[in-house]
Amino acid sequence: MRRDHRPFWVKRLYLGYRSWHVEHFLRPQFEYLGNHGTYMNPWYVHVAGPNISLGHCATVIGAPDARVRITVWGRGHDQGRISIGDYALITPGVRITASDLIEIGHSCMIASGAYITDSDWHSLYDRIERNAEPAPIRIGDNVWIGDRATVLKGVTIGDNSVVGAGAVVAKDVPANVVVAGNPARVVKELDPEGPFRTRADFYADPEFLDLEMSRYDRELLAGNTLFNWLRTIVAPSRRD
Active site residues: 122
What's the pLDDT score for residue 1? 58
Q: Is residue 2 part of a domain?
A: no
Mean of pLDDT values over 43-54: 98
Q: Is residue 120 part of a domain?
A: yes
CATH classification at residue 171: 2.160.10.10
Q: Is residue 1 part of a domain?
A: no
Q: CA 119, 121, 127, 132 torsion: positive or negative? A: positive
pLDDT tens digit sequence for 184-196: 999 999 999 989 9
Q: Is residue 235 part of a domain?
A: no
Strand order in the sheet with 101-104: 32-33, 52-54, 81-84, 101-104, 137-139, 156-157
Residue 179 CB-density burial (10 A; 0-12 exposed, 13-18 middle, 19+ buried): buried
Q: Is residue 236 part of a domain?
A: no
40 is in which domain, residue-wise? Answer: 8-229
Q: Is residue 155 part of a domain?
A: yes
Q: Is residue 127 part of a domain?
A: yes
Q: Is residue 237 part of a domain?
A: no
Question: Does the pLDDT at position 6 exceed 90?
Answer: yes
Question: Does the pLDDT at position 67 exceed 80?
Answer: yes
Q: What is the pTM of this model?
A: 0.93
Domain count of the fold of the chain: 1
**Phi, psi of 138, rounded to the nearest 5 degrees:** -130, 120
Strands 185-189, 177-180: parallel, antiparallel or unpaired by DSSP?
antiparallel
Mean of pLDDT values over 151-156: 98
